[in-house]
């Protein structure tokens, strides 16, 4: 009686020791395989459970994977057992403990049944001892969730008793909690690794895309810069203007490096022609339109001897329509244009405008010479005619100015109104004694102050000159 009591006490002591060591070790590790191997090693150390195996349920919940074994010639790590297959699989499926006391007899019975039926017996145990006689398999549960199966087995018949079942069940439950935490941490780490990989891939994609965009931007900038050089070749050179004008000033500011504004100068036998155009759009489309317009205008001057400026303007309008392939009333491409012919010998200036005005500054003040309310190349629906040219006689020191609607239409940050012609005339009145270039520069400064924080709406071109 005393010996039996001492044996029970000794076993309880061992059980407490193993559970304490397992608990301490479990708290010290969060790695699934480390936890599993520790439990199996301690079970042999304390209770001579020589053959044990721990399997973890895969996320798909269809198979159990071997993560730790103890006492086998082949560890079978990574091998799997289908849920519902064999003792271990049935424990996972039913989520209940199973204790087998005489597996050899059961195997022989199943083989005999299969032989008599003419079929081949299904192998129950995929992992573990091929000739085990006793087995206890316990589901590892945490919060009613199956995490894995802990199995011990022996070659001896009826080797395990109810106390062993209780011990292994306690260890399985203790291990299940740590296993749940370990699996959670493992999933978190896997998610972090996936996130790191995604971030790395994104960084690589961003780097590659940034380079692609930088290369594309460089190509675009290079192309636009080249287009700007081409457009500048169509603009009159300063030396040409200096040869024919007493004084001149120019501001040519495309909104987007290239633009739809241009100024034009053409020497004649009896004087010279001065023009300023404001084409539809800005940027590359506007620049293309300006080059078409300049080329068309040059061809008309070269091929025709048109003394009358109104006839020249009509020819320009018709030629531009034909060149653009538009003869209908829905044509939206064209330009506003102002054209002057100056005869220095007679001190005579003739002007014709298509939605553009010429400002004349002299001792009497500032006078606006308006053009027709009709543009070149479009606006046919209204059937407005071009006005006849206007002829004036100027004096030495008189100043003339044309400007694109980028000046007139610029919105002010405070007034929320366009700069307008009244402000332009007031400015010219105050600065008419300045040099032509000073007038242009001061006008741009005044316009910038008036604009404030507002964006630049359009190309800005100003051409100011004093005839010889």
Reported as a single tens digit per residue, the pLDDT across 68-109 is 888 888 888 889 999 998 889 999 999 999 988 887 777 776
Q: What is the pLDDT of residue 49?
A: 81
Could you give the CA distance from residue 399 to residue 246 in angstroms, rounded to a whole number?
10
Domain boundaries, the chain: 2-187, 227-467
Most confidently predicted of 125-139, 167-181, 206-220: 206-220
Q: What is the pLDDT of residue 429?
A: 96
Residue 381 is classified by DSSP as: G
305 or 461, greater pLDDT: 461
Q: How confident is the model at residue 449 (pLDDT cuts 50, 70, 90)?
A: very high
Reported as a single tens digit per residue, the pLDDT across 108-128 is 765 666 566 655 545 545 588
Q: What is the topology classification, in CATH, of domain 2-187?
A: Beta-Lactamase (3.30.450)
| Tokens representing residue 276 in the block | 């300023």
Could you give the CA distance from residue 124 to residue 221 in angstroms, rounded to a whole number?
74
Alpha carbon distances (Å) from 385 to 321, 324, 353, 374, 381? 16, 21, 11, 7, 11
Report field, pTM of the whole predicted structure over 0.75: no
Equal fold, 2-187 vs 227-467: no
Q: What is the pLDDT of residue 381?
A: 41
CATH of 227-467, one of 3.40.50.720, 3.60.40.10, 1.10.3720.10, 3.30.470.20: 3.60.40.10
Residue 382, pLDDT > 70, answer no
- On whether the CB atoms of residues 323 and 291 are closer than 8 A, the answer is no
Could you give the CA distance from residue 338 to residue 387 in angstroms, rounded to a whole number?
12
Reported as a single tens digit per residue, the pLDDT across 115-169 is 666 555 455 455 888 888 888 898 988 888 898 898 988 888 888 888 888 888 8
Q: What is the pLDDT of residue 64?
A: 92
Reported as a single tens digit per residue, the pLDDT across 414-445 is 888 999 999 999 999 999 999 999 999 999 99
Q: Which is nearest to 292 in space by CA: 376, 350, 356, 182?
A: 376
């Amino acid at each position: 009686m005393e010996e039996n009591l001492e044996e029970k006490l000794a076993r309880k002591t061992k059980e407490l020791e193993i559970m304490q060591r397992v608990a301490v070790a479990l708290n010290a590790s969060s790695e699934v395989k480390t936890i599993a191997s520790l439990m199996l090693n301690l079970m042999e150390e304390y209770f001579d459970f020589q053959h044990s195996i721990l399997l973890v349920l895969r996320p798909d919940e269809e198979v159990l994977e071997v993560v730790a074994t103890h006492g086998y010639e082949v560890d079978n790590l990574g091998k799997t057992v289908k849920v519902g297959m064999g003792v271990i699989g049935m424990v996972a499926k039913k989520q209940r403990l199973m204790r087998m006391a005489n597996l050899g007899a059961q195997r022989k019975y199943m083989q005999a049944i299969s032989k008599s039926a003419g079929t081949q017996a299904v192998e129950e145990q995929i992992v573990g001892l091929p000739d085990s006689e006793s087995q206890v398999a316990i589901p590892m549960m945490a919060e009613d969730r199956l995490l894995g199966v802990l199995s011990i087995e022996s070659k001896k018949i009826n080797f395990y008793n109810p106390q062993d079942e209780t011990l292994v069940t306690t260890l399985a439950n203790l291990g299940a909690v740590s296993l749940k935490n370990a699996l959670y941490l493992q999933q978190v780490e896997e998610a972090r690794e996936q996130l790191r990989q995604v971030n790395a891939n994104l960084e690589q994609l961003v780097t590659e895309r940034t380079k692609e965009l930088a290369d594309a931007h460089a190509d675009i900038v290079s192309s636009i810069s080249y287009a700007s050089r081409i457009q500048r070749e169509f603009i009159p050179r300063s030396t040409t203007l200096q040869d024919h004008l007493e004084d001149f000033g120019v501001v040519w500011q495309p909104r987007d490096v290239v633009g739809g504004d241009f100024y034009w100068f053409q020497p004649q036998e009896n004087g010279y022609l001065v023009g300023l155009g404001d084409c539809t759009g800005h940027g590359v489309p506007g620049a293309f339109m300006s080059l078409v317009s300049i080329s068309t205008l040059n061809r008309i001057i070269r091929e025709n001897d048109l003394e009358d400026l109104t006839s020249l303007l009509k020819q320009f309008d018709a030629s531009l329509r034909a060149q653009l392939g538009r003869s209908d009333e829905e044509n939206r491409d064209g330009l506003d244009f102002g054209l002057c012919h100056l005869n220095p010998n007679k001190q005579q200036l003739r002007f014709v405008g298509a939605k553009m005005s010429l400002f004349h500054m002299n001792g009497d003040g500032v006078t606006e010479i308006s053009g027709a309310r009709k543009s070149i190349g479009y606006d046919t629906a209204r059937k407005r005619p071009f006005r006849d040219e206007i002829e004036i006689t100027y004096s030495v020191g008189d100043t003339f100015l044309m400007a694109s609607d980028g000046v007139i239409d610029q919105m002010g940050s405070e007034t929320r109104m366009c700069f307008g012609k009244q402000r332009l005339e007031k400015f010219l009145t105050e600065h008419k004694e300045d040099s032509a270039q000073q007038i242009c520069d001061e006008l741009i400064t005044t316009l910038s102050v008036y604009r404030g924080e507002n964006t630049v709406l359009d190309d800005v071109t100003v051409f100011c000159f004093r005839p010889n």
